[in-house]
């Protein structure tokens, strides 16, 4: 849960600490064919450790070994706490497939001139930046909207992590072809309603500045909160809220008050304060022993989920690991018991536009992988917030159920960027029984009837390992 890593936390001593700001380059992992690829220089703590950036240089390279070489004479001193600056330089053409970006920063700090590749994180080998310039826009049903439902901005900034600014998130979302972004900063980082109202104001300003020009419309930002609250076992779990009017407190697992890790509110109390549909964040997240022990973090269980009926479960939290399968199992159990809970997909990115950087061992080492990339898993639905139970979550193909009375049409669509279908499966929850019946299809569009089943839902997977799954749909007679 760490992301753009902050390396200046040194209690009692840290191998990662050094007298330099964090400096890094970031860009979305995937670019819609109609948009230019934005690349940012990002720094934190440049107020404490001012740095002079001499130049930024490097090259783009594709699989045919075609290169685009660039050099940016930056020549600027950075002195504010956060710095997010978009870099203008030669980019690969739209729709041109995968490119590798190798990028170097030459900077002066004190008397020393240094060069780092991609970032100056200590003991973390620079991972090459890979960008997929999509050949076609990501498929989705006409008039539906696709969005990121769980990400963090620089309002999440504490001793171990920080996110990108709302403006960066909005522009990155545009490049990814998203329609909306929910910024869900931690209750324990927002701290109070003053900060939450500031986030809401930033978001409102960015939305109004961009709404006039419909031809170049920017994605809608939604201010929300990831609230730490108490499960029925009195452990800290995370609850996603959107568009809540006021800040909802939750400091249990923030690590700012070691003497007290008790949740401030129960799940039901927090949901009541929010006043609209809430979503269980990463219900079965794998965590470090230290998080369980020192921060009293726990998992969501069936009893807790039932406290947020009308909402959903974000069991697809960036990647499909063990927590995805366990979370999906929990969700199916809710469905089979007759509870109408939505499946939800987000990424929990803190910045992390191209790869995810996090602490591996506190105070000791960092890690980098592809687990929580901004905009990778998207929730696609007729409108946000959801007003009906029809939606799908995906990292590529479109998969949606069109319902006409008791008859249903399943539409599956992929393209050259996401691969051909390996499988399309329909699941029917049997009424009064505790299992789902599965039916496999080879056709991309097919008709089925709900008969007397409790619900139906579908999943698909492509040859490129891309996946999509729908929410459960119900018979109008039920
Ligand atoms: Zn969380
Ligand atoms: Zn989160």
Residue 255's closest CA among 192, 299, 189, 306? Answer: 189
Residue 253's closest CA among 267, 238, 242, 266? Answer: 238
Contact present, 123 and 15 (Cβ < 8 Å): yes
Q: From first to last of its 478 residues, what are the pLDDT tens digits of the chain?
A: 335 666 665 555 566 667 889 999 999 999 999 899 999 999 999 889 999 999 999 999 999 999 999 999 999 999 999 999 999 999 999 999 999 999 999 999 988 999 999 999 887 888 889 999 999 999 999 999 999 999 999 998 776 678 899 999 999 999 999 999 999 999 999 999 999 999 999 999 999 987 655 667 899 999 999 999 999 999 999 999 999 999 999 999 988 877 789 999 999 999 999 999 999 999 999 988 888 888 999 999 999 998 887 899 999 999 999 999 999 999 999 999 999 999 999 999 998 999 988 877 776 788 888 899 999 999 999 999 998 889 999 999 999 999 987 789 999 999 999 999 999 999 999 988 889 999 988 888 899 998 889 999 999 999 999 999 999 999 876 6
Burial of residue 132, with CB atoms counted within 10 A of its CB: 0-12 exposed, 13-18 middle, 19 or more buried:
middle
Q: If you measure from the C-alpha of residue 151 to the centroid of ligand 2, how many angstroms do you get, rounded to a whole number?
A: 6
Q: What is the pTM of this model?
A: 0.94
What percent helix, strand, coil does the chain show, rounded to 5?
A: 15, 40, 45
Q: If you measure from the C-alpha of residue 163 to the centroid of ligand 2, how many angstroms do you get, rounded to a whole number?
A: 10
Ligand nearest to the CA of 150: 2
Q: If you measure from the C-alpha of residue 300 to the centroid of ligand 1, how many angstroms do you get, rounded to a whole number?
A: 12
Residue 236's closest CA among 263, 255, 201? Answer: 263
Ligand nearest to the CA of 295: 1
Instruction: Round to whole Å and give the CA distance between 335 and 305.
Output: 11
Q: If you measure from the C-alpha of residue 208 to the centroid of ligand 1, how many angstroms do you get, rounded to a whole number?
A: 29
Whose tokens are 């930024």? That residue is: 56
Strands (E) across 63-125 are located at: 67-72, 76-78, 82-86, 97-109, 112-117
Q: If you measure from the C-alpha of residue 374 to the centroid of ligand 1, how many angstroms do you get, rounded to a whole number?
A: 15
Whose tokens are 């390996």? That residue is: 422
Long-range contacts: 191-200, Cβ < 8 Å, 24+?
191/251, 192/247, 193/246, 193/247, 195/155, 195/247, 196/223, 196/225, 196/246, 196/247, 197/247, 198/155, 199/153, 199/155, 199/166, 199/223
Ligand nearest to the CA of 156: 2
Q: If you measure from the C-alpha of residue 201 to the centroid of ligand 2, how many angstroms do you get, rounded to a whole number?
A: 21
- Total Cβ atoms within 10 A of residue 130: 15
Q: If you measure from the C-alpha of residue 169 to the centroid of ligand 1, how many angstroms do you get, rounded to a whole number?
A: 18
Instruction: Round to whole Å and give the CA distance between 312 and 379.
Output: 12
What domains appear along the chain, each with residue ranges and CATH number?
Answer: 1-136 (2.60.40), 138-390 (3.20.20.140), 396-474 (2.60.40.10)
Helix (H, G, I), strand (E, B) or coil at 457: strand
Q: If you measure from the C-alpha of residue 226 to the centroid of ligand 1, how many angstroms do you get, rounded to a whole number?
A: 7
Contact present, 288 and 264 (Cβ < 8 Å): no
Instruction: Round to whole Å and give the CA distance between 416 and 395.
Output: 14
Q: If you measure from the C-alpha of residue 1 to the centroid of ligand 2, how many angstroms do you get, rounded to a whole number?
A: 7
Ligand nearest to the CA of 228: 1
Instruction: Round to whole Å and give the CA distance between 446 and 358.
Output: 43
Ligand nearest to the CA of 254: 1
End-to-end CA distance of the chain: 40
Q: If you measure from the C-alpha of residue 27 to the centroid of ligand 2, how many angstroms do you get, rounded to a whole number?
A: 20
Output the CA–CA distances (angstroms, integers) from residue 222 to 42, 181, 185, 214, 270, in the order listed: 23, 6, 11, 18, 19
Q: If you measure from the C-alpha of residue 465 to the centroid of ligand 2, how many angstroms do you get, rounded to a whole number?
A: 25
Contact present, 182 and 149 (Cβ < 8 Å): yes
Ligand nearest to the CA of 348: 2
Ligand nearest to the CA of 163: 2
């Amino acid at each position: 849960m760490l992301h753009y890593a902050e390396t200046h936390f040194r209690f009692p001593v840290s191998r990662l600490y050094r007298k330099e700001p964090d400096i890094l380059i970031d860009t979305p992992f995937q670019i819609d064919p109609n948009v230019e690829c934005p690349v940012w220089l990002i720094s934190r703590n440049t107020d404490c450790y001012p740095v002079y950036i001499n130049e930024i240089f490097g090259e783009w390279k594709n699989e045919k070994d075609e290169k685009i070489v660039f050099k940016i004479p930056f020549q600027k001193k950075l002195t504010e706490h956060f710095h997010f600056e978009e870099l203008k330089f030669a980019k690969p053409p739209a729709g041109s497939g995968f490119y590798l970006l190798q990028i170097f920063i030459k900077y002066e700090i004190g008397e020393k001139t240094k060069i780092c590749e991609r970032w100056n994180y200590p003991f973390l080998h620079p991972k090459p930046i890979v960008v997929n310039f999509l050949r076609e826009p990501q498929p989705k049903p006409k008039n539906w909207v696709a969005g990121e439902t769980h990400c963090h901005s620089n309002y999440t900034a504490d001793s171990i992590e920080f996110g990108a600014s709302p403006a960066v998130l909005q522009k990155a979302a545009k490049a990814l072809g998203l329609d909306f972004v929910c910024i869900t900063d931690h209750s324990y980082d927002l701290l109070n309603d003053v900060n939450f109202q500031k986030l809401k104001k930033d978001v409102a300003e960015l939305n109004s500045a961009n709404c006039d020009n419909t031809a170049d419309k920017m994605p809608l930002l939604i201010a929300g909160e990831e609230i730490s609250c108490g499960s029925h076992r009195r452990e800290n779990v995370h609850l996603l809220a959107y568009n809540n009017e006021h800040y909802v407190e939750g400091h249990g697992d923030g690590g700012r008050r070691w003497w007290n890790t008790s949740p401030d509110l129960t799940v039901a109390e927090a949901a009541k304060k929010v006043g609209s549909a809430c979503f269980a964040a990463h219900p079965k997240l794998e965590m470090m022993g230290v998080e369980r022990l020192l921060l009293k973090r726990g998992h969501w269980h069936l009893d807790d989920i039932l406290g947020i009926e009308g909402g959903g479960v974000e069991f697809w939290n960036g990647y499909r690991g063990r927590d995805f399968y366990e979370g999906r199992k929990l969700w199916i159990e809710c469905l089979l018991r007759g509870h109408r809970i939505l499946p939800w997909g987000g990424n929990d990115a803190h910045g992390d536009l191209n790869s995810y950087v996090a602490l591996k061992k506190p105070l000791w080492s960092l890690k980098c992988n592809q687990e929580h990339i901004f905009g990778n898993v998207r929730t696609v639905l007729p409108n946000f917030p959801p007003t009906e139970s029809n939606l799908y979550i995906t990292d590529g193909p479109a998969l949606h159920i069109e319902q006409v009375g008791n008859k249903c049409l399943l539409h599956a669509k992929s393209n050259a960027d996401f691969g051909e279908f390996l499988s399309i499966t329909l699941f029917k929850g049997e009424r009064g029984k505790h299992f789902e019946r599965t039916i496999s299809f080879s056709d991309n569009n097919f008709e089925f009837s709900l008969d007397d089943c409790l619900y139906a839902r579908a999943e698909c997977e492509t040859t490129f390992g891309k996946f999509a799954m729908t929410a459960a749909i119900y018979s109008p007679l039920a």
